[in-house]
């Protein structure tokens, strides 16, 4: 989507929201896969409503730990299975769950570098074995992409060969940033977390049935201090105008 189209969509978001009498501060927590989309949507939401969104982003395991420890949140944006677990734990209001978007996994290299062949599982295997270094998110952090890619390596039969040249990222930034800096040759992550990184370039999605589509959902915390404003924010995130911005970030809106 061209820049003027994105701006037009952002302007349209203000139209779908009604003004409220009292401005609220909404405490948002989200896994990193939705960070770029949420950053773009938060500003027009705040302008349209007068509310303020205070956001915390991190790896799913880190966010889950904070929620389970009792940290109060108004809105959680999370991979759907992880959010469902927190519903069972009594941390998220069950009937507040709304599906927001879907995102596939991709492979990135430094901008200008030759794009390796990843068109088939066998091609991906050859590319990974030939690479000097690879980065993906540490599975221990509860990242869907990191957990899945570790399984991909096992399925391809190269888990042991890849150990010495794999870097497990801590989830504090985008994996492709290490590729852009020239520190790592290949990055694996959600496509939505590759596209915004200047200096990195998307090679393509993981091939065939090696792909993982992560479904992201939003829910309201059971201890939310601003439930009404939180509902308004989630409604905003599912509006047709928001869908245009979600598409622009490489995700499929619900």
Contact 25, 52 (CB under 8 A): yes
Q: Cα separation of 81 and 93, whole Å?
A: 14
pLDDT in tens, 201-247: 999 999 999 999 999 999 999 999 999 999 999 999 999 989 998 98
Q: What is the DSSP string of 43-103?
A: HHHHHHH--EEEEEEE-HHHHHHHHHTT---SEEEEEHHHHHHHHHTTSB-GGG-EEEEEE
Tokens of 69: 């420890």
Between 16-30, 101-115, 185-199, the lowest mean confidence (pLDDT) is in 16-30
Query: Given pLDDT bands bounded at 50, 70 and 90, which one contains residue 3?
Result: very low
Place of tokens 């979600």: 246
DSSP tag of 143: -
Instruction: Inform me whether the pLDDT recorded for 7 exceeds 80.
Output: no
Q: How many CB atoms lie within 10 A of CB 84?
A: 16
pTM: 0.81
Same fold yes or no, 3-102+214-253 and 105-210: yes
Residue 33 pLDDT: 83
Is residue 198 scored above 60 in pLDDT?
A: yes
Fold of 105-210: D-Maltodextrin-Binding Protein; domain 2 (3.40.190)
CA distance 199 to 3: 19
Q: For residue 121, report the phi and psi dihedrals to the nearest 5 degrees.
A: -55, -40
Can you state the angle between helices 227-237 and 35-49, rounded to 10 degrees? Answer: 120
Three-state secondary structure string covering 30-42: EEHHHHHHHHHHH
Place of tokens 């993981």: 206
Q: Where are the domains of the chain?
A: 3-102+214-253, 105-210
* Helices and strands (H and E) in the chain: how many: 11, 11
Spatial neighbors of 7 by CB under 8 A, at least 6 apart, are none
CATH level 2 (architecture), domain 3-102+214-253: 3-Layer(aba) Sandwich (3.40)
């Amino acid at each position: 989507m061209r820049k003027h189209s994105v701006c037009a969509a952002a302007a349209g978001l203000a139209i779908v929201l009604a003004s409220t009498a009292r401005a609220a501060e909404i405490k948002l927590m989200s896994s990193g896969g939705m960070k770029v989309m949420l950053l773009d949507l938060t500003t027009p939401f705040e302008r349209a409503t007068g509310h303020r969104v205070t956001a915390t982003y991190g790896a799913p395991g880190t966010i889950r730990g904070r929620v389970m420890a009792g940290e109060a949140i108004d809105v959680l944006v999370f991979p759907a299975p992880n959010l469902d677990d927190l519903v069972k734990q009594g941390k998220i209001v069950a009937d507040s769950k709304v599906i927001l978007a879907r995102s596939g996994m991709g492979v990135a290299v430094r901008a200008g570098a030759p794009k390796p062949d990843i068109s088939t599982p066998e091609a991906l295997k050859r590319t990974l074995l030939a690479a000097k270094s690879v980065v993906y998110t540490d599975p221990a952090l509860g990242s869907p992409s990191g957990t899945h890619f570790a399984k991909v390596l096992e399925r391809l039969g190269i888990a042991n060969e890849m150990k010495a040249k794999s870097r497990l990222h801590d989830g504090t930034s985008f994996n492709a940033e290490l590729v852009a800096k020239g520190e790592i040759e290949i990055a694996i992550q959600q496509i939505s977390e590759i596209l915004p990184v200047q200096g990195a370039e998307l090679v393509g999605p993981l091939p065939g049935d090696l792909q993982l589509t992560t479904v992201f959902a939003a829910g309201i915390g059971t201890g939310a201090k601003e439930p009404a404003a939180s509902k308004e924010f989630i409604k905003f995130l599912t509006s047709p105008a928001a869908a245009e911005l979600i598409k622009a970030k490489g995700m499929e809106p619900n």
